[in-house]
Amino acid sequence: MKVLLLEDDTMLGELIADHLGGMGHEVEHYVDGEEAEEAILQGRYDLLLLDVNVPGIDGFELLASMRERKDMTSAVMITSRNTSADLKEGFDLGCDDYIKKPFEFAELDARIEHIVRIYGLRKSEPIALGGDTFFEPAAHRLVVAGEAVPLTPKASEILHYLYKNAGRIVSREELVGSLWAYDESPSDATLRSYIKTLRKYVSNIVTERGVGYGFEPG
């Protein structure tokens, strides 16, 4: 897996890069937000580890810029901040997880593994959904008739979960319990909005009113 690490603490950055390299990941380490942004514009990464407080463009600004460009690459924020407002800001901008300094590498590994498992980052081949529609979980996007359609990380997560459970109706309770933290449960309207967006491009998604949602194999 190709990882971009933005960390201005040189020693910590080198330790993280060495550790992840030993785990089999390809890591590019940057200490400045503007340099990291330039690298992201020129290349493709499977995962971003972004320190919040760095020179140039900070981690929040970099993430906001990416999401505005519809770049939905999975991102974990690294921060020494510990207020709920900071966490909310990161999640509102579209980060996938947080890790607070100081941390053990075991915690970092667990958070990365969670994202790898949820978004299917080990899958190199796009998933055929039927017809001319393909799904790339790692890139959070659909490819429809050769045209890329970006998805939010959560929409990508929902689609991937339904696909992995193809042929059966997944209850709302199961979907929410599997994909959201216990204190972040979405409203029914929010969940319906995600499904409506996905159904614009994926006709295989079905709704069983009052029960849940499913994916019918093509």
Q: If pLDDT is split at 50, 70 and 90, which confidence band does 25 have? A: confident
DSSP secondary structure letters along 114-154: HHHHHHTTT--SPEEEETTEEEEGGGTEEEETTEEEE--HH
pLDDT at residue 20 greater than cutoff 90: yes
d(CA 120, CA 97): 16
Task: Say how far residue 70 (Cα) sits from the centre of its chain.
Answer: 12
The 8-class DSSP code of residue 203 comes to T
Look at residue 69 in the predicted model and tell me its pLDDT: 83
Question: Could you read off the pLDDT of 119-133 as tens digits, one per residue?
Answer: 766 555 688 998 899
Most confident of 67-76, 103-112, 116-125: 103-112
**Amino acid (one-letter) located at 216:** E
d(CA 173, CA 144): 30
Burial 1-23 (b: 16+ CB within 10 A, else e): bebbbbbbeeeebeebbeebeee
Domains in the chain: ranges and CATH = 2-119 (3.40.50.2300), 127-215 (1.10.10.10)
What is the mean pLDDT of the segment spanning 148-173?
Answer: 91
